Structure 1
């Protein structure tokens, strides 16, 4: 089970997995390419490429949504064990940054190859964020958990609208979705047992 750190854990897991892949096989010869998580403010930088690096793959979480297929099932589990179980889909944009189009294509191609080779993050591949001592009991990603990375099918129009809302111009980008990311509550609220029952009866003539 995962606590509130589950979203952060998935983003860092993707970043770490891609950086390991780039270390094993650099997409551009003679260039040190890295994967980096970015936030909206990073895209507002006057020179975004300077902010994230000359050769990089940015990983931008732009949308968090509940998983429609698992929502009802985990709600039923929650009613039984007293814990909240929120099943989420995390939507990422992967964008390549380089000095020319060919190198951007190489970076994006290597990233997609790496994800296709490791489409499921589980066990040691799932990053466990460091939490404050007071939160040491917060649920961390378990060995039985798995998050699947899928190439997301969205229309070109929807992708362009997403960039319209961002403080940067459109660039070569591939959308991915990570599912299912589960956030569980630490404290459970089990349903108390029934100790008394009141059954009114009516006598009819």
Structure 2
């Protein structure tokens, strides 16, 4: 495959091809200069400006035939398993410039005839165009010297040159974007350029047998057939909080529902964006294929280690008859915070302004980088900045009305469970209230 220098290498090869072919047109128009720059940089008012050809790369598009030909770049675990090539088509604008009658037309005719006769840039021509000068690589510009390492001649697919018709409307838009005076031009598309990264990858070993061979016969068990629509591998569908609640609290039991969750060495890996490593809870042996139940801890260590917010849970297990440990997909759930209302939080009203300040603790602890919002009925306030997770949360409200107010604490989008959904119809939790002084 080619390297990232391949696009520049194609321009260099085309310019070299045109430069060598313009020797034959010499008697008709004189010395011809071939460039590969933007048309607006060409100085037409230069008194020494003579007949010339310019090759301008104005557009790059993905090749439709090879853009999805390779395997995905990463596996579900995030490890790089391939370097899929970047397949590109290069669109060029070939423009002829002349200072006398018919010069531009003659140049364009010779150039088009030359490219028509070379529909494929063969490997020998590419190597010849990009090899260092026999007088020494030091006489070439640094950019041209670097193109020798493009590996364009070694890519699998051939590089072809095809005339690309451009109608008058598109040509007008193109030259208007370039902001240069129009000159006789023709479009060409170069396909295909394959750019591949040179990064290390992980490649799986060949499969020796489909399952563990039988000890007596040596036959492999083959492919297992499941007569249902369930996934064939351990899969987590969702995490179900208890009592039909939308979130889980520390100390409660969560149900991870899925398929093929029975086995040995069962463990659940809980991950949170604020944690570098997941928290692993060992379950042991699970005999239920459709659910795994996990008791969340609620001790002092858990209050510091389990921040409120959005979590994901993965189940790892060894399925029955399979010694290989499998891991399910992640299933998301919300760990809700709990405002500590016993003992009662400190609520103070300013005698002059009537503003109310509430100071309370939360279970689990709220980390300084987390955003905490406290609502007293319909009035809400954001927690003031803190330096440690053990510091209390301080909320500065406006003149909140006095009396009994329902409390809602929200941490990183996870809201405390004010509504009790275990009853029908649901109702407010009577314990989630505070008394605001007059």
What TM-score do the two structures reach when normalised by structure 1? 0.80
Which has more strand, going by share of residues?
A: 2
Residues 145/35 of structure 1: CA separation in 2 closer, same or farther (3 Å cut):
farther
* Cα displacement (A) at 1:190: 3.1
C-alpha contact (below 8 Å) 1:35/1:57 kept by paired residues: yes
Question: Structure 1: which 5+ residue stretches go unaligned?
Answer: none
Q: Quick one: which of 149, 152, 168 aligns to 1:141?
A: 152
Structure 2 counterpart of 1:84:
84
Residue 178 of structure 1 aligns with which residue?
A: 190
Distance 1:54 1:33, change over 3 A: same
Instruction: Please name the residue that 1:131 is paired with.
Output: 146
Q: Which residue of 2 aligns with 1:70?
A: 66
- 8 Å contact from structure 2 (residues 163, 189) kept in 1: yes
Q: Is the 8 A contact 2:3 2:196 kept in 1?
A: yes
Change (3 A) 1:188 1:84: farther
**SS of equivalent to 2:102:** helix
Q: Please, which of 190, 200, 203 is the counterpart of residue 261 of structure 2? A: 200
> Relative contact order, CA 8 A, sep 6+: which one is greater?
1
Partner of 2:175: 163
Q: Which residue matches 1:116?
A: 116
- Aligned-pair CA distance for 1:83: 1.2
Structure 2 distance, partners of 1:34, 1:68, is 35
Deviates more, 1:60-69 or 1:48-57: 48-57
Q: Is the 8 A contact 2:71 2:82 kept in 1?
A: no
Checking the alignment, whether the CA contact within 8 Å between 2:261 and 2:289 is kept in structure 1 is no
Query: For 1:171, what is the secondary structure of its paired residue?
Result: coil
Partner Cα separation in structure 2 for residue 51 and residue 176 of structure 1: 30
What is the Cα deviation at residue 191 of structure 1? 5.1
Indicate conservation of the 8 Å contact 2:87/2:192, yes or no: yes
CA positional deviation for 1:184: 0.9
RMSD (Å) for aligned C-alpha atoms: 3.1
Give the 3-state SS of the residue equivalent to 2:56 in structure 1: strand
Aligned residues: 193
Which residue in the other structure is 2:54 paired with? 58
Q: 1:200 is paired with a residue of what secondary structure?
A: coil
- Conserved? CA contact 1:139–1:184, under 8 Å: no
- Could you list the per-position Cα deviations for residues 71-115 of structure 1 after superposition, in whole angstroms to 9, with x for gaps in the alignment? 122x33867971130011111111101113411111000000000
Return closer, same or farther for 1:78/1:125 CA change in 2, 3 Å cut-off. farther
| TM-score with structure 2 setting the length | 0.40
**Shift in Å at residue 180 of structure 1?**
0.4
Shift of 1:119: 1.3
Give the equivalent residue in structure 1 for 2:247.
none
